[in-house]
Structure 1
Amino acid sequence: MNPEEQTPQAPLQSPVENGAAAPEANPGGDAGRIAELEAKVAELTDAHLRAKAEVENARRRADEEVAKARKYAVEGFAESLLPVKDSLEAAIATPGAAVEQVLEGVHATLRQLVAALERNKVSQINPQSGTRFDPHQHQAISMVPADQEANTVVTVLQKGYLIADRVLRPALVTVSAPK
């Protein structure tokens, strides 16, 4: 209803105040209306309780799923490392193998390990010589005089690793000293 359409209402007065006779009470109509309203209240209360229970159940299911995700988060990674472990155990099981065979097996196992790491979004940080030093991905062990621009990587002492975009371990590097 628009405010322009509203008509001012007269203040409520009892029938006795305005001189009119009191109307007869309609007990049957009021009782029916009360029963109807009580039924509506019961219906709304039931709907409220059901909605509240559904929210609680959804919250409980979400908490259980988060707990499972935390508990088994490493499952995929561990599963991808099992072939690497199997290869290492097979190498140990053949003590009389020739050095060439062992070296070939080590290279194959390393390829398996690299593939498992890549599947799990683990990548290496191995900066080339001359790359600008990045303190977010590199850890400088020492500064050495070099024939290259200052604050650039001279050598990598140990590769670093990333999981997705997060540094798991920074690369240990030597950095060129300012001239």
Structure 2
Amino acid sequence: MAEEQTQDTQILDANLVTDDALVTRVQLLEEQLAAAQDQSLRIAADLQNVRRRAEQDVEKAHKFSLEKFAHDLLPIIDSLERGLELSNPDDENIRPMREGIELTLKMFQDTMKRYQLEAIDLQGGEPFNAEHHQAMAMQESNDLEPNSILKVFQKGYQLNGRLLRPAMVVVSKAPAHVAPSIDE
């Protein structure tokens, strides 16, 4: 009977060892499964991010593919506008030429709008905005608040909301006060 009990104990011990080994093995496999699932989720998230970035890059490429070309056209627009500014609208001798320049400029501006190339609209007295304006000079002004636009040298432009060229402007500053002299 003692012999049978020893055999039963050995079988029981073997079963316990096997159960402990199985529990350890199951725990190890569960950890590996959790790690694999985590890695799978990370890879899926990375893939989604790559796909989203690629879509954004394609969208930006479509929006801003004309950027260099548009930038090269700005001096032409400037020249047409300067020609109109410098010509006398009352001079009958150049009226046909002036009308031709106005029509050409109008067609040019309409085409620019179709491709979302827009002039930065400036009115005198607007506050200076460093994101859209480039200050070329400062000038004292009694009429305007400091840091207001006095004059526009050159228009600025945006392509699809992105700054293509800042507007070159003269900015107002507070007048220097003359200190009273003390003559006694």
User: TM (normalized to structure 1)?
Assistant: 0.46
| Greater per-residue helix proportion | 2
